[in-house]
Amino acid sequence: MAITSRAPVPGGGVAAPPAGPPDGPPRPGTAWAEGVERLRAAATTEPGRLRIIGAVLAALVLLFGAVTVWEISDRLSAADDVVGRSQPLSADAASIYRSLADADTASSSGFLAGGDEPREVRQRYEKDIANASKLLVSAAANTAADEDSRQQIALLSEQLPRYTGLIEQARATNKQGLPLGGAYLRYANEQMSTQLLPAAQRLYEAETGRLYTDYDDARSLPLASLGTGLLALAALGWAQRRNYLRTNRVFNHGLVAATAASLVVLMWLAVGHAVARSELGEARSDGQESLKVLNDARIASLQARASENLTLIARGAVLAADKKSDKYDVDFTSNMKQLDTGLATALRLADDTSGREPVIRAADGVKQWKQRHAAARETDLRGDYQDALPQVIGDKVHKDSSGASFDTVDASLEQAVAHEQKEFTRAARAGLGALGGLVTGSAALAVVGAAAALLGIGRRLSEYR
């Protein structure tokens, strides 16, 4: 056995044996550490620095393009939903509400005519019910997976056949001259007022809320794209200034081309989104807001007309909450106040002659309607029902009935709604069109810009070979 001696050390003791070689090969560094080391080594030479600068510039330009594609695709999808999905669904929900209210009005008008129900009144009622049923089927198929909307659609689909059944019972009983027909009609009107119309209103509010969400999504600023674009331009500007200071060359064609491509994308993004934002804002303020007010006003007029008819049908049998006044006469007054408020707001929102004129005609018709209603109501309160009836529904002698005034108001509001719907569609489509081509264009220009930046840096690198 070999004996290893240890040299003495001052103060006593012996020195430790010298360290021998390690037991195995040296441990390699991590991939990240090796990459950082190579990058650091490359940065010590000008060609290495140029390669790093070229890679960073290309990456920034591509990132700018990718973020722009992502953000504009999102806004384009939301704008497309505004034009093609959420606004049509909101309009359909409003049409369901309006059709139901109009059907209730037509049914009461037909009832007042007795056994000789006018054919046009009957056809109007049937058309309203068919339209509401068709739109409910369409809404069930196209509405988003929103639980509230589906609940309202289910409730409307369940209650509408019950309502039409009550109307048919009222009509059949009325033709037999039995007073029970009026009770059936009042019960049907109560079901319409307390179940069908509130459900239609909730459906309309849900779909309109979804429309406003799409508006906000489409109009939100693409801050990430704008920020990335400015960063890319700043980096390209710095690279060109560095190139000028080191070579005294004013332009590097590749870097200039990359800068131009990035600038085009940034300007296209800024201007295109600004135009889209403006047009969509106009569609909302001048189109959708006016549509909402006009739809509410038209529904108030329909409910007022139904209440006016039921005042004659019930003949004081149904009292208001104060137990003194006729319920339907109180409802008529309330509906007319809502109509006056709605028309005043619609007139304020109308921004052109074509939009203002039908609203003004409707307001004039409301004034005439109130006067004729007051005259008919006074006649009825005197107990002269037979003379009050034609003042409300009209005949060959009483052509200036309150019903004729209502028809003027309804036709004017229908024209105003059609005009505002046209204005909305024009502005919304213009907003959607302003974003068209930006996704494809920004992607293509980003690729061109990145390639140009690499070529520009490559031109500089070739000078070191």
Mean pLDDT of 46-58: 84
Q: How far apart are CA 172 and CA 181, in angstroms?
A: 8
**Gap between the Cα atoms of 77 and 71, Å rounded:** 10
Q: Please report, rounded to a whole number, the percentage of residues in the chain having pLDDT higher than 70.
A: 88
Q: 274, 290, 293, 277: which is closest to 422 by C-alpha?
A: 290
User: Is the distance from CB of 130 to CB of 99 less than 8 angstroms?
Assistant: no
pLDDT at 267 over 90: yes
**Residue 19 above 60 pLDDT?**
no
Confidence at residue 457, expressed as pLDDT on a 0 to 100 scale: 84
The answer to whether residue 380 scores a pLDDT higher than 60 is yes
Give residues with Cβ within 8 angstroms of 316, minimum separation 6: 326
Per-residue model confidence (pLDDT) at position 29: 55
Distance from C-alpha of 16 to C-alpha of 455, rounded to nearest angstrom:
62
| Pair 265, 65: CB distance under 8 Å | yes
Is pLDDT of 389 > 70?
yes
* Contact criterion met (CB below 8 Å) for 110 and 306: no
Look at residue 417 in the predicted model and tell me its pLDDT: 93
Calculate mean pLDDT across residues 40-61. Answer: 80
Mean pLDDT of 409-423: 93
- Averaged pLDDT, 385-402: 78
What average pLDDT score do residues 190-209 get? 90
Distance (Å, whole) CA 307 – CA 337: 13
Confidence of residue 41 (pLDDT cuts 50, 70, 90): low
Of 230 and 148, the structure prediction assigns the larger pLDDT to 230
Q: Does 4 score more than 70 pLDDT? A: no
Instruction: Decide if pLDDT at 22 tops 90.
Output: no
pLDDT at 1: 41
Return the structure tokens found at 193: 């007022």
Rounded mean pLDDT of 321-331?
83
Phi-psi region of 430 (alpha: psi -120 to 50; beta: other; left: phi over 0): alpha
Contacts with 41 (C-beta within 8 Å, 6 or more apart), sequence order:
48
Range with lowest mean pLDDT among 4-8, 171-175, 288-292, 446-450: 4-8
- If you average pLDDT over every residue of the chain, what do you get? 85
CA angle, 414 as apex, 413 and 417 as ends, to 5°? 85
Segment 398-423 mean pLDDT: 89
Alpha-carbon distance of 369 to 381, in angstroms, equals 18
Among the listed ranges 5-14, 194-203, 279-288, which one has the minimum average pLDDT value? Answer: 5-14
Using the predicted structure, report yes or no on whether residue 230 has a pLDDT greater than 70.
Answer: yes
| pLDDT category of residue 120 using cuts at 50, 70 and 90 | confident
Confidence of residue 144 (pLDDT cuts 50, 70, 90): low
Residues 6+ apart with CB under 8 A from 313: 108, 111, 112, 182, 185, 186
Residues 6+ apart with CB under 8 A from 193: 303
Of 132, 239, 137, nearest in space to 192 by CA: 132
Banded pLDDT at 2 (limits 50, 70, 90): very low
Assign 371 a pLDDT band (cuts: 50, 70, 90).
very high
Q: Taking residues 322-349, what's their average pLDDT?
A: 90
User: What is the tens place of the pLDDT at every residue in 76-115?
Assistant: 999 998 988 888 888 899 999 999 999 988 888 888 877 6
Report how far residue 129's alpha carbon sits from residue 104's, in angstroms, rounded to the nearest whole number: 10
10 vs 463, more confident = 463
Q: In the structure encoding, which two tokens stand for residue 433, read together? A: 């069109």
306 close to 296: Cβ distance less than 8 angstroms: no
Q: Which of 35, 438, 68 is nearest to 231 (CA)?
A: 68
Q: What is the pLDDT of residue 130?
A: 95
> What is residue 153's predicted lDDT score, i.e. its pLDDT?
92
- The pLDDT value recorded for residue 148 is 83
